[in-house]
Amino acid sequence: MEPIQLHQVKKAFNQGRPNEFWAIRGVDLTIQPHRATVLKGPSGSGKTTLLSMIGCLSRPTSGRITRGEQLLSGLPERFMTEIRRRTFGFIFQQFNLIKGLSVLENVMLPAYPLGPDHAQLSRSALELLHQFGLGTKAESRVEWLSGGEAQRTAICRALINDPEILIADEPTANLDSRLSREFMAIVDGLKQTGKTILLTSHDPVVFDSPVVDRVVEMSDGQIMDPSCC
């Protein structure tokens, strides 16, 4: 598996308008595979923006993001989606589960565009749910879940397409410290299976965790200690 490399990545919002804002101001970074990396920093430091560009959710205004020989930034939408679907699994701060659907349906959703065999897909989804202690909740609606259960559902959803890289944005922001520690234990388990983990957080439970291999500190859209990267 190749590392992800960022070269002078910049991102502006409302470019050319009076309210133009540069959220990322020239970041060079290498993310090593099979490691857990945390982007740490206060709100507005650019962690989420950087994470979304690495995860092919948005494109940089300038600079390049590559994975080995493959250019991730600047690809047409269709290819970006394809890479996003197969390479990355996302766990969002608000979990972003779709209300009204069951836990099982939510977990299966990312696989729908690939058109896999239904029996096989539900089997994989149920296996994941059992693995994360949600086997009995498969048919429950997601709005009935506790915070920890919702997050584990989000993790199962992120893993359904078996991605190489797992991206989590402020994963413990809505969890108490016990659940936060549980989450880090899950991250540890995933790392053991060879996944690359990329997190953003300003929670000490996350960045002080022994599971984390590297902490990249950010401020005002830049990396505070570029020599570390």
Partner 1 sequence: MKAFIRKQRYLIDFTLSSLLRRPGKNLGLLVVYSLIVFLLASVMLFTHALRSEARLVLADSPEIILQRMVAGRHDLIPGSYLEKMGRIRGVIGKHGRLWGYFYDPAVQANYTLMVPRDRQLAEDEAVIGAAIARTRGVSRGDFLTFRSTDGNAYSFRVSAILASDSELVSADLILVSEQRFRTFFGIPEGYYTDLVLNVRNPKELRKVAEKLTLRLPDTRPILRDEILRTYDAIFNWRQGIVFVLLTGTILAFVIFAWDKASGLSAEERREIGILKAIGWETSDVIRMKFWEGAIISLSAFLLGYLTAYGHVFYANAGLFEPVLKGWSVLYPEFRLTPFIDGLQLATLFFFTVFPYTVATIVPIWRAAITDPDTVMR
What is the contact surface with partner 1 in residues (CB under 8 A)? 48-49, 51-52, 57-59, 77-78, 81, 84-86, 90, 92-93, 96, 98-101, 105, 109-110, 112-118, 157, 161, 169
Are 216 and 37 spatial neighbours (Cβ–Cβ below 8 Å)?
yes
Instruction: Please report how close the Cβ of residue 178 comes to partner 1 at its closest, in angstroms.
Output: 26
Are 33 and 196 spatial neighbours (Cβ–Cβ below 8 Å)?
yes
Instruction: Please report how close the Cβ of residue 165 comes to partner 1 at its closest, in angstroms.
Output: 13
Instruction: Please report how close the Cβ of residue 152 comes to partner 1 at its closest, in angstroms.
Output: 16
- The Cα 121–Cα 156 span in angstroms is 13
Instruction: Please report how close the Cβ of residue 48 comes to partner 1 at its closest, in angstroms.
Output: 5
- Find, among 25, 31, 27, the residue nearest to 13 by Cα: 25
Q: Which is nearer to partner 1, 137 or 157 (CB)?
A: 157
Q: Which is nearer to partner 1, 58 or 66 (CB)?
A: 58
- The Cα 145–Cα 108 span in angstroms is 17
Q: Which is nearer to partner 1, 36 or 108 (CB)?
A: 108
Tally helices (H) and strands (E) across the chain: 7, 10
Instruction: Please report how close the Cβ of residue 133 comes to partner 1 at its closest, in angstroms.
Output: 22
Are 210 and 203 spatial neighbours (Cβ–Cβ below 8 Å)?
no
- The Cα 74–Cα 88 span in angstroms is 17
Q: Which is nearer to partner 1, 42 or 226 (CB)?
A: 42
Q: Which is nearer to partner 1, 69 or 77 (CB)?
A: 77
